[in-house]
């Protein structure tokens, strides 16, 4: 009897591969364990065991495996079933899913590059001989390939050694960027609690009569607190009281003053006690009751709660119950909403039961979370994560929360698997018989429609917590303002006046502009030429700080030009504007204000957002300018004004969701204003103040927007009525691409007729020197989506067999929106 295993390789190949194992190995192996296998001439891959059996492959001779890698499965059976569903539904390979799902440390291969980890701190004696050899080599060579390691230790099977070295943190994998987290620890000062009552303070001041400098400090602290209602920095106090740091230190030693760091104390300080936030108000209570009711009939419930209605606190209650039952909870949210703000908030309630899974975290952190989940360890009972955390090894999932369920970033576009995390989470929950709560202030048209149809349960929260009013929205007609010369740069007189007022009250402002950079285009006044990217069909974007013109698609850049590249004229002018320009104009309009910018240029790195958000929370920034990342569920207490610099460029996207998205975006940005005491104000600058969507957004008319949109979708055959599969074709040779795509789309039309649209060139028709054509297949409501996919797969097979089309890349995108 001979023994074989079918394995999943982390590469985009349709089939599973079969390898031969010994009887002992067959006995030992289980589905979900990893093995190292040879592939091709010299490659070694880490593969995942799928099936153990006795049937030799018919088309090739099975090679023996190289090495066993695990003592226990690293992937759970339900997880594997879910991966298979993803591969099938989103038309990719199981290898694509495998590769996307596991941390790279699980996927050593012969080409992997390793480097020394400078944080390694164990004594060298902690290393075994073979480990030490690798360690030694890394002292002399900065990088090593896995193949080279094999020569160093004179052995073929190096993965076990490398795995041990990874565990001991001796080495890093090259693609990992490690960033040391340096929380910003600002020193703050306050009166120690015994002295906060008025009579005790009086006694204290009397006692300090003999130490006038110390008394001065206490008095100044008192006036500062009263005047600013903000945490007081030690530095600030020393300056105000005109004393040296020694005096403050004496008071701290005497336990009159207390020093604290906001990084640690932030959650407590924000003004609301953690204990109080646990008691739901009547509306939240009612919502919770209704959610429970809904769960009797529905597996999925949609919670439509306006911004700041206290949805998160409702989630917390649901989580508490699941935890009490020993179940796992997955809390999904868009990448950019995954801030320390929310992490701290949940940790405040659930302590170390909360684990965060984030692509910006190091491999070690991710492996740790993975293992905790696989072992159903309480340390990862609540997993907070972005999109890819639906691929984790849950074994006992009870609840999935999808916060901001309307967010586009739940959909992965590139590379495969091109899955939608919300939809994949619903399927995952079904497999676990778990419940799902979708939450949003502006639900997607699809989810809202599902709720209306009765497919999902539906619960509303219409009131902001603490009865804070919804912000007041004002549409400002900038065409009119331009005519009347009431514009200063890109600021209308209305917006300027509101900013002035808010600043004078010591409150904060958020300004939104949906474009980074300084100005999208620099155009020649004389001949109309603007600099183009040589690799892509787009104009270069002007970045003022770097004095560069950059391509946002491929990263190509050149130095800023003083004269036209085409005619040499020096009359150049900017068209459109981005966040950088808003920031520059602001600085000259409000020279005394602290201004900062938050967009993908200023938030690189793991803690990029954190730094800016923390500074804004601590009111070191008065005005924050940013792109959409400002819209994501952030909770700033002191923001009373939000300005949308130009609403029109939101509306003009060539996409059937453009209007829905604009509504969502405006509502979400607006939701950052006036979350507490004062009613917030939102100024929306636009050339089209009478545009339907702007009107609806400014009057908070979600239902009107939904009704209009769903009617349009029905009329023009879009989701949720028709399903969409987009096929993208790419090649460097435009002629060949055109022919090939025509061949493919003709075949599609033979099967699906007029429900096939294209080939069509996208707005940017060439990226990194590859031309692009799209074909869209619309699937009518009654047609089986499975059959459609089977047909598409068949056509693709025939296509790939045609020699002259071989080089054309095809990308399939199911539910491409």
User: Which option in ligand ADP, Zn ion, none does residue 418 bind, with CB closer than 5 to 8 A by kind?
Assistant: none
> Angle 734-752/785-800 helices, nearest 10 degrees?
140
Residue of 523, 531, 569, 563 lying closest to 550 (CA atoms): 531
Gap between the Cα atoms of 253 and 129, Å rounded: 52
Minimal distance, residue 471 CB to ligand ADP, in Å: 13
Tokens describing residue 540: 């270069």
| Residue 527 binds to Zn ion (criterion: CB under 5 A) | yes
| Residue number with CB closer to Zn ion (47 or 767) | 767
User: Which option in ligand ADP, Zn ion, none does residue 508 bind, with CB closer than 5 to 8 A by kind?
Assistant: none
HSE at residue 640, side-chain half, CA atoms within 13 A, is 15
CA angle 244, 245, 246 (to 5 degrees): 90
| Residue number with CB closer to ligand ADP (277 or 541) | 277
Minimal distance, residue 321 CB to ligand ADP, in Å: 16
Strands 557-559 and 541-543: unpaired
Residue of 498, 468, 454 lying closest to 590 (CA atoms): 498
Residue of 332, 328, 315 lying closest to 385 (CA atoms): 332
Minimal distance, residue 309 CB to ligand ADP, in Å: 4
Tokens describing residue 669: 């940005």
User: Which option in Zn ion, ligand ADP, none does residue 431 bind, with CB closer than 5 to 8 A by kind?
Assistant: none
Q: Is residue 783 within 8 Å of residue 795, measured between CB atoms? A: no
| Residue number with CB closer to Zn ion (136 or 571) | 571
Peptide bond into 417 cis (omega under 30): yes
Beta strands in 73-226, from DSSP E residues, in sequence order:
113-116, 143-145, 171-173, 187-191
| Residue number with CB closer to ligand ADP (108 or 459) | 459
List 512's β-bridge partners, or say none.
Answer: 626, 644
Residue 511 is inside which H or E element, if any?
A: strand 508-512
Contact with Zn ion (CB under 5 A): which of 553, 656, 734, 752? 553
Gap between the Cα atoms of 778 and 775, Å rounded: 10
User: Which option in ligand ADP, Zn ion, none does residue 536 bind, with CB closer than 5 to 8 A by kind?
Assistant: Zn ion
Q: Which of the 8 DSSP states describes residue 460?
A: E
User: Which option in ligand ADP, Zn ion, none does residue 440 bind, with CB closer than 5 to 8 A by kind?
Assistant: none
| Residue 529 binds to Zn ion (criterion: CB under 5 A) | yes
User: Which option in Zn ion, ligand ADP, none does residue 627 bind, with CB closer than 5 to 8 A by kind?
Assistant: none
User: Which option in ligand ADP, Zn ion, none does residue 412 bind, with CB closer than 5 to 8 A by kind?
Assistant: none
Taking CB under 5 A as the binding criterion, the range among 80-88, 485-493, 561-569, 736-744 that sits at the site for Zn ion is 561-569
Residues within the interface to ligand ADP (CB under 6 A): 272, 276-277, 279-281, 284, 305, 307-313, 465, 635
User: Which option in ligand ADP, Zn ion, none does residue 309 bind, with CB closer than 5 to 8 A by kind?
Assistant: ligand ADP
Minimal distance, residue 669 CB to ligand ADP, in Å: 13
In the structure, how many helices (H) and strands (E) does the chain have? 27, 37
| Residue number with CB closer to ligand ADP (550 or 632) | 632
User: Which option in ligand ADP, Zn ion, none does residue 581 bind, with CB closer than 5 to 8 A by kind?
Assistant: none
Gap between the Cα atoms of 1 and 54, Å rounded: 7
| Residue number with CB closer to ligand ADP (339 or 541) | 339
Q: Is residue 392 within 8 Å of residue 382, measured between CB atoms? A: no
Gap between the Cα atoms of 796 and 801, Å rounded: 9
Coil, strand or helix at 296: helix
| Residue number with CB closer to Zn ion (463 or 552) | 552
| Residue number with CB closer to ligand ADP (129 or 282) | 282
Chain residues 243-282 in contact with Zn ion, contact rule CB under 5 A: none
- Total of residues contacting Zn ion (CB under 5 A): 15
Taking CB under 5 A as the binding criterion, the range among 191-199, 419-427, 528-536, 737-745 that sits at the site for Zn ion is 528-536
| Residue number with CB closer to ligand ADP (174 or 272) | 272
Tokens describing residue 480: 């009119």
Strands 639-644 and 508-512: parallel
Chain residues 506-525 in contact with Zn ion, contact rule CB under 5 A: 524
Minimal distance, residue 738 CB to ligand ADP, in Å: 49
| Residue number with CB closer to ligand ADP (311 or 387) | 311
| Residue number with CB closer to ligand ADP (226 or 279) | 279
Contact with Zn ion (CB under 5 A): which of 228, 569, 707, 798? 569
User: Which option in Zn ion, ligand ADP, none does residue 376 bind, with CB closer than 5 to 8 A by kind?
Assistant: none
| Residue 211 binds to Zn ion (criterion: CB under 5 A) | no
Site string for Zn ion, 22-61 (x = CB under 5 A): ----------------------------------------
User: Which option in Zn ion, ligand ADP, none does residue 311 bind, with CB closer than 5 to 8 A by kind?
Assistant: ligand ADP
User: Which option in ligand ADP, Zn ion, none does residue 799 bind, with CB closer than 5 to 8 A by kind?
Assistant: none
User: Which option in Zn ion, ligand ADP, none does residue 529 bind, with CB closer than 5 to 8 A by kind?
Assistant: Zn ion
Minimal distance, residue 316 CB to ligand ADP, in Å: 8
User: Which option in ligand ADP, Zn ion, none does residue 312 bind, with CB closer than 5 to 8 A by kind?
Assistant: ligand ADP
Gap between the Cα atoms of 604 and 179, Å rounded: 11
User: Which option in ligand ADP, Zn ion, none does residue 344 bind, with CB closer than 5 to 8 A by kind?
Assistant: none
Residue of 19, 48, 16 lying closest to 31 (CA atoms): 48
Q: Quickly tell me which residue has 């390694």 as its tokens.
A: 120
| Residue number with CB closer to ligand ADP (583 or 610) | 610
| Residue 551 binds to Zn ion (criterion: CB under 5 A) | yes
Gap between the Cα atoms of 523 and 530, Å rounded: 5
Taking CB under 5 A as the binding criterion, the range among 84-92, 491-499, 534-542, 723-731 that sits at the site for Zn ion is 534-542
How many other C-beta atoms can be found within 10 angstroms of the C-beta atom of residue 40?
A: 7
Q: Quickly tell me which residue has 């009013």 as its tokens.
A: 469
Sign of CA dihedral 566, 571, 575, 578: positive
| Residue 115 binds to Zn ion (criterion: CB under 5 A) | no
Minimal distance, residue 284 CB to ligand ADP, in Å: 6
| Residue 772 binds to Zn ion (criterion: CB under 5 A) | no
| Residue 536 binds to Zn ion (criterion: CB under 5 A) | yes
> Angle 245-253/212-228 helices, nearest 10 degrees?
90
Q: Is residue 261 within 8 Å of residue 185, measured between CB atoms? A: yes
User: Which option in ligand ADP, Zn ion, none does residue 193 bind, with CB closer than 5 to 8 A by kind?
Assistant: none
Taking CB under 5 A as the binding criterion, the range among 58-66, 69-77, 231-239, 548-556 that sits at the site for Zn ion is 548-556
| Residue 554 binds to Zn ion (criterion: CB under 5 A) | yes
Q: Is residue 629 within 8 Å of residue 603, measured between CB atoms? A: yes
Residue of 218, 723, 165 lying closest to 423 (CA atoms): 723
CA angle 335, 426, 93 (to 5 degrees): 80
Coil, strand or helix at 611: helix
- Residue 25, judged by CB atoms within 10 A of its CB (0-12, 13-18, 19+), counts as middle
Question: Backbone phi, then psi, for 70, in 5-degree steps?
Answer: -125, 155
Gap between the Cα atoms of 474 and 481, Å rounded: 14
Taking CB under 5 A as the binding criterion, the range among 307-315, 339-347, 530-538, 790-798 that sits at the site for Zn ion is 530-538
| Residue number with CB closer to ligand ADP (164 or 272) | 272
| Residue number with CB closer to Zn ion (109 or 523) | 523
User: Which option in Zn ion, ligand ADP, none does residue 544 bind, with CB closer than 5 to 8 A by kind?
Assistant: none
Minimal distance, residue 736 CB to ligand ADP, in Å: 51
| Residue number with CB closer to ligand ADP (220 or 312) | 312
Tokens describing residue 643: 């300005």
Q: Which residues bind Zn ion (CB under 5 A)?
A: 524, 526-527, 529, 533, 535-536, 551, 553-554, 556, 564, 566-567, 569
């Amino acid at each position: 009897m001979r023994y074989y295993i079918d394995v999943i390789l982390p590469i985009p190949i349709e089939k599973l591969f079969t390898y031969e194992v010994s009887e002992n190995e067959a006995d030992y192996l289980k589905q979900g364990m990893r093995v190292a296998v040879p592939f091709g001439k010299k490659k070694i891959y880490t593969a995942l065991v799928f099936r153990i059996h006795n049937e030799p492959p018919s088309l090739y001779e099975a090679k023996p495996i190289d090495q066993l890698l695990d003592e226990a499965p690293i992937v759970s059976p339900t997880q594997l079933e879910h991966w298979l569903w993803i591969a099938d539904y989103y038309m990719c390979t199981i290898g694509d899913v495998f590769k996307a799902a596991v941390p790279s440390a699980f996927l050593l291969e012969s080409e992997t590059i390793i480097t020394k980890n400078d944080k390694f701190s164990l004594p060298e004696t902690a290393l075994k001989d073979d480990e030490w050899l690798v360690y030694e080599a890394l002292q002399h060579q900065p990088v090593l390939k896995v193949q080279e390691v094999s020569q160093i230790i004179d052995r073929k099977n190096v993965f076990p050694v490398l795995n041990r070295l990874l565990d001991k943190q001796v080495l890093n994998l090259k693609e990992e960027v490690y960033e040391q987290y340096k929380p910003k620890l600002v020193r703050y000062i306050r009166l120690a609690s015994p002295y906060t009552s008025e009579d005790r303070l009086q006694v204290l001041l009397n006692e300090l009569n003999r130490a006038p400098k110390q008394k001065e400090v206490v008095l100044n602290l008192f006036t500062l607190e009263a005047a600013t209602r903000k945490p007081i920095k030690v530095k600030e106090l020393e300056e105000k009281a005109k004393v040296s740091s020694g005096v403050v230190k004496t008071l701290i030693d005497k336990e009159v003053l207390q020093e604290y760091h906001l990084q640690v104390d932030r959650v407590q300080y924000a003004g609301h006690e953690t204990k109080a936030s646990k008691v739901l108000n009547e509306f939240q209570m009612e919502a919770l009751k209704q959610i429970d009711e809904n769960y009797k009939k529905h597996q999925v419930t949609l919670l439509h709660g306006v911004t700041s209605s206290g949805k998160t606190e409702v989630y917390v209650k649901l989580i508490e119950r699941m935890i009490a039952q020993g179940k796992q909870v997955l809390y999904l949210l868009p990448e950019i909403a995954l801030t320390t703000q929310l992490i701290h908030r949940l940790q405040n309630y659930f302590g170390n039961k909360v684990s965060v899974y984030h692509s910006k975290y190091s491999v070690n952190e991710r492996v740790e979370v993975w293992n905790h989940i696989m072992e159903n360890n309480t340390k990862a009972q609540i997993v907070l994560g972005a999109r890819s955390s639906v691929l984790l090894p849950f074994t006992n999932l009870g609840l999935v929360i999808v916060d901001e369920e309307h967010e586009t970033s739940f959909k992965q576009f590139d590379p495969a698997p091109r899955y939608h995390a919300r939809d994949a989470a619903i399927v995952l929950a079904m497999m676990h018989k778990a419940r799902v709560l979708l939450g949003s202030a502006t639900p997607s048209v699809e989810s809202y429609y599902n709720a209306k149809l009765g497919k999902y349960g539906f619960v509303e929260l219409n009131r902001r917590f603490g009865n804070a009013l919804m912000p007041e929205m004002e549409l400002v007609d900038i065409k009119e303002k331009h005519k009347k010369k009431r514009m200063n740069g890109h600021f209308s007189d209305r917006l300027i006046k509101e900013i002035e007022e808010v600043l004078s009250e010591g409150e904060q402002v958020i300004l939104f502009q949906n474009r980074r950079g300084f100005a999208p285009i620099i155009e020649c006044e004389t001949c109309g030429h603007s600099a183009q990217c040589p690799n892509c069909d787009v104009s270069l974007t002007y970045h003022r700080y770097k004095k560069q013109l950059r391509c946002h698609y491929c990263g190509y850049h050149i130095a800023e030009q003083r004269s036209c590249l085409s005619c040499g004229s020096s009359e150049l002018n900017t068209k459109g504007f981005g966040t950088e320009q808003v920031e520059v104009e602001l600085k000259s309009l409000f020279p005394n204000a602290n201004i900062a910018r938050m967009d993908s240029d200023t938030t690189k790195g793991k803690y990029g957002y954190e730094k800016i958000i923390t500074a804004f929370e601590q009111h070191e920034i008065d005005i924050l300018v940013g792109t959409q990342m400002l819209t994501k569920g952030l909770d700033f207490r002191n923001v009373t004004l939000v300005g949308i610099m130009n609403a029109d460029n939101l509306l003009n996207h060539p996409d059937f969701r453009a209007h829905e998205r604009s509504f969502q975006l405006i509502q979400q940005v607006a939701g950052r204003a006036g979350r507490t005491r004062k009613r917030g104000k939102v100024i929306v600058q636009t050339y089209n103040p009478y545009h339907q969507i702007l009107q609806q957004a400014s009057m908070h008319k979600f239902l009107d927007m939904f009704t209009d949109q769903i009617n349009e979708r029905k009329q023009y055959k879009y989701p949720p009525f028709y399903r969409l599969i987009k096929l993208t074709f790419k090649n460097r040779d435009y002629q060949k691409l055109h022919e090939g795509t025509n061949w493919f789309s003709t075949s599609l039309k033979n099967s699906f007729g007029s429900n096939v649209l294209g080939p069509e060139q996208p707005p940017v028709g060439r990226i990194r020197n590859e031309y692009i054509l799209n074909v869209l297949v619309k699937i009518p409501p009654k047609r089986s989506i499975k059959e459609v996919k089977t047909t598409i797969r068949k056509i693709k097979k025939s296509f790939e067999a045609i020699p002259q089309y071989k080089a054309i890349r095809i990308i399939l995108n199911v539910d491409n929106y």
